[in-house]
Structure 1
Amino acid sequence: MESLIRYAPLLAGGALVTVSLAVISLFLATCLGALGAAGRIGGSKFGKGAVLVYTTMARGIPDLVMILLVYFGGQRLVNTILNAVGGEPINVSTFWAGVVAIGFIYGAYLTETFRGAYQTIPKGQVEAAQALGLRGFILHWNVTIPQLIRFALPGYANVWQVLVKSTAVVSVIGLKDLVGLANDAGKTAREPFIFFVAVLAVYLLITWASTLIFERIEKRYSVGMANAR
């Protein structure tokens, strides 16, 4: 226990890296998911096919394999391009490699989450808004997007919880996140069990806090639904 207290500031820094990695990855996944859903719903045949290939590939490749492909393959690709234009080779950041890999994977899941939420919106509400003269951005901002958020929130929260756990895999490429630092500290102090129990507690704390936050957001967007029914 004394070893855990001594390394507590270091682990706190690792926890901050983990949370930052998860939040930025979720932002990227949200952008990819929104674009993918738009492509599946209103895109051309080519666009729908491209999105289908993306979602199938991203959901079929294990997280660890994707992270290794992005980190080592991405680094080689970038340096090949730099070499072709006469640039100096660089080292790809483990943090941003993790962001790209995780965001790419979970963007595929959010594509289906957003698509399903959009298809749940009653068509009568959109038709009624159009009858009132709402068009384009005004219609989507006032009618479509609030409904989409409401229906997508449960799936979105679930994707976030799974995404948070996936951040632990990024430690295999050398990222000094919570898992990576706890592993190093546990080996140094020769008490790996204690340190990984602490990691478990931190991840449970993150998921518990996330559950509370998403429950409050869902209640906010569900106001008036009971009366409407």
Structure 2
Amino acid sequence: MSGLFSALSSFWAWIGYAFDPLCGPVGLFRIFASDTIVACGDAGWGDEIAFGVKVTISLALVTLPVGLVLGFFIALALQSRDKALRTAAGIYTTIFRGLPELLTLFIVYYGLQMAIQSMLAYMGVEERIEINAFFAGMIALSVVFSSYCSEVLLSAFRAIPKGQYEAGDALGFHRGRTMLLIILPQLIRIALPGLGNLWMSLLKDTALVSVIGLSDILRQTGVAAKVSKEAFFFYLLACCLFLVLAMLSSIGIGFIDRWTKRSEVRR
């Protein structure tokens, strides 16, 4: 079994290298900056910055589905007939939309460690626990993203006529199937512009995790700037990398938007 995991790890590492847009076989740094300060290998900072790009993208991509799922259920709770559910969901969104993202990150990163250690101490286990920075960043960004996402989805829910639910009932669908086949496709189409903006904000907010030691774009370029004394160059490079990610995201969101509207075009 350990041999299988080792083989999978090696294969994944090779995939990461082969498709690395910066330091891969046909990476930009490797082709155009081999004799500069961002060269790949021991000669420059290319590998470190490429790793930071992977961490930033991975964190955003992992946070997105978690935040979407949480936001969806919170939006359902906000329009529930149960007053307790509406109140709890309202408190959740008020807290995490009101707190600065950086403060939420600190609370999750340090507070979660304290809570786990207190539980272990209560159970008689004296051991220091340190929360993984990537996991803490994902949790913090997910709760913030979900609080804003729930409001976008709630507005989308309210924009769908109640007759759509009645149509599902008339067809003999149970509520789950009505939600999946009738409501959800319309919900995605209506909420997509707002969710696209939230994705852009999430992509920028990943830079906050650098303060808890996660090696994202901002941290890697910051370390390179301090060591090389080329602060302007490396921070300008960080700006360019985030702008490239934003442009690629805009292209992807535009493609999804056209795909969701294909039925309207056929009409």
Shift of 1:124: 2.5
**How big is the alpha-carbon RMSD for the aligned residues of Structure 1 and Structure 2?**
1.5
Q: Residue 72 in 1 paired to residue 106 in 2?
A: no
Q: Residue 13 in 1 paired to residue 51 in 2?
A: yes
Give the letter for the 1:66 counterpart: T
Q: Residue 49 in 1 paired to residue 49 in 2?
A: no
CA contact (8 A) 1:40 1:47 kept: yes
Identity of aligned residues (%): 33
Paired positions, count: 228
Partner in structure 1 of residue 72 of structure 2: 34
**1:1-229 alignment, distance < 5 Å:** 2-5=36-39, 6-87=44-125, 88-225=127-264
Shift of 1:4: 2.4
Give the letter for the 1:42 counterpart: S
* TM-score, length-scaled by structure 1: 0.94
Name the SS of the counterpart of 2:79 in structure 1. helix
Shift of 1:226: 5.3
Instruction: Decide which structure has the larger Cα Rg and report it.
Output: 2
Bigger Cα displacement from structure 2, 61-70 vs 78-87: 78-87
Name the SS of the counterpart of 2:243 in structure 1. helix
CA contact (8 A) 1:4 1:194 kept: no
Shift of 1:126: 2.7
Shift of 1:43: 4.7
Name the SS of the counterpart of 2:67 in structure 1. helix
Shift of 1:98: 0.8
* TM-score, length-scaled by structure 2: 0.81
CA contact (8 A) 1:82 1:89 kept: no
Higher relative contact order (CA 8 A, sep 6+): 1
Aligned mates of 1:169, 1:117 — CA distance in 2: 29
Name the SS of the counterpart of 2:200 in structure 1. helix
Aligned mates of 1:38, 1:221 — CA distance in 2: 22
Aligned mates of 1:172, 1:205 — CA distance in 2: 23
| CA shift digits 1:172-226 (9 cap, x unpaired) | 1111111111101111111011111111111111111111111111111112325
CA contact (8 A) 1:83 1:89 kept: no
Aligned mates of 2:69, 2:172 — CA distance in 1: 29
Give the letter for the 2:193 counterpart: P
